[in-house]
Amino acid sequence: MKASCAWGDGPDVIVSLEGTKIILYEDPHENNHFKHGIVSEGSFDLTSNEAIELAHSLLMAARVAKDLDLSYNDYVEKEKRKERIKEAGKILEQKRKDYLNDNIW
């Protein structure tokens, strides 16, 4: 996607899809029956205020997504570590049992 300034009924911000696929939908009769489709060519027109609000929303959502991604990666790594420790404990316990069996008799 790319954004540029244009002049229509005043200054506008035009966002061109440029091959980026988005899903569009609408409920023309407002009865929860949505028409939808995937679009990869086209553009949409925003006022400067709408563009600023969208930019702010995108930045905030991206920051939250990035933080969640980092938190998830940390969680996965901790779970892997726990699993390795658990497996090492099982191996050590089996070796202890084998040692005791070999040395008791």
Q: So where are the chain's domains?
A: 1-46, 56-105
- For the question of whether the overall pTM of this predicted structure is more than 0.95, the answer is no
Q: What pLDDT score was predicted for residue 105? A: 60
Q: What is the pLDDT of residues 20-61, one digit of tens each?
A: 888 888 777 777 777 778 888 888 899 989 999 999 999 999
Q: What pLDDT score was predicted for residue 38? A: 82
d(CA 105, CA 95): 16
Q: What pLDDT score was predicted for residue 102? A: 82
Q: What is the pLDDT of residues 45-102, one digit of tens each?
A: 999 899 999 999 999 999 999 998 888 888 899 999 999 999 999 999 999 888 888 8
Starting at the edge strand that comes first in sequence, how are the strands of the sheet with 43-46 ordered?
A: 2-7, 11-16, 43-46
CB 21, CB 40: distance < 8 Å: yes
d(CA 23, CA 17): 12
Better pLDDT: 8 or 73:
73
Look at phi and psi of residue 62 and say left if phi exceeds 0, alpha if psi is from -120 to 50, else beta. Answer: alpha
Look at phi and psi of residue 61 and say left if phi exceeds 0, alpha if psi is from -120 to 50, else beta. Answer: alpha
